[in-house]
Amino acid sequence: MLRSSRVCSGSRCRWSRTVRLLLALSIGSCSRPASIRIAVVFSTTWAFESLNQADQAVVKRAALDTLRQAFDGFDVVFAETPAGDRTIRIEDTPYASNPTQLISFGAAGVTYPAAVVSSVRHDVLFNAELAAVRCSKVNECTKTRTELIEALGRGIGATAAHELGHQTGFGFSHDWPCVECYDGKSSKAYVHFFGVKHWSDQAVRRMRQVLPRK
């Protein structure tokens, strides 16, 4: 086999090295998955318990902090913004035709098949939180109002993390019987609001397949 004996020199050699460097950088940047941007939209009326702006800020901060903690190590970016690659909406529970119907302990989160948008029902979570600490009212509880409001934010964040795992193309939430797991089926347990949660081993394996790493 004949091999070329030509050797570059001078400006031609420098140009060749530059082209190779740019090509390598281009290949490297194309092979790295892009960040996934999650829009967190708080479209609730905040009517229950008359949460003021300071209360709302506490809930939002705790929810976003919980989401970021849940996806630590993955290049998933959460922000309160109207648009993103995927969306989580924090909403009021839709009422039935009877306006006097009380909020029930229905689904705290909803994600339809093939959807990239999830709904988290903050009022359902608030009722679940009160039940978890065995309180009928905020002002008749062993927990302070501040503790309850911050815990509500954590519950919203934990539910949002779970629902994101149901969105199309992800599939890392399978409603396991694990109370401490984000992918577990319960959003009514004490740990959901006041404890530290984690993903199951099955969820972590799936997340490593479908989510970009930092």
Q: Do the Cβ atoms of 185 and 176 come closer than 8 Å? A: yes
Answer whether residue 189 is part of any domain.
Answer: yes
123 Cβ contact partners less than 8 Å away, ≥ 6 residues apart: 44, 48, 92, 93, 103
**pLDDT at position 105, please?**
54
**What's residue 46's pLDDT?**
85
CA dist., res. 149 & res. 23, Å (int): 52
Query: What's the CA gap between 132 and 24, in Å, rounded?
Result: 55
pLDDT band at 188 (very low <50, low <70, confident <90, very high): very high
Contact predicate 180/198, CB 8 Å = yes
d(CA 144, CA 180) in angstroms, rounded, equals 23
Report residue 193's pLDDT band, with 50, 70 and 90 as the boundaries: very high
Does residue 41 lie within any of the structural domains? yes
CA atoms of 189 and 83, how far apart (whole Å):
31
pLDDT > 90 fraction of the chain, expressed in percent and rounded: 67
Residue 80 has pLDDT above 80, yes or no: yes
Residue 165 belongs to some domain of the structure = yes
Residue 56 tokens read as 């709302």
Structural domains counted in the chain: 1
Among the listed ranges 21-35, 138-152, 196-210, which one has the minimum average pLDDT value?
21-35
* Residue 121 domain-assigned (yes or no): yes
Nearest to 86, CA basis, from 20, 48, 38, 125: 38
Q: What is the value of pTM for the model shown?
A: 0.81
**Is 72 part of a structural domain of the chain?**
yes
Domain range for 169 is: 33-94+104-209
pLDDT, tens digit, for every residue of 101-131?
A: 544 457 899 999 999 999 999 999 999 999 9
Q: Read off the CATH number of the domain in which 198 is found.
A: 3.40.390.10
Any domain includes 27:
no
- Does residue 55 belong to any structural domain of this protein? yes
Give the model's confidence band at 95: pLDDT under 50 very low, under 70 low, under 90 confident, else very high.
low
Establish if 59 belongs to a structural domain.
Answer: yes
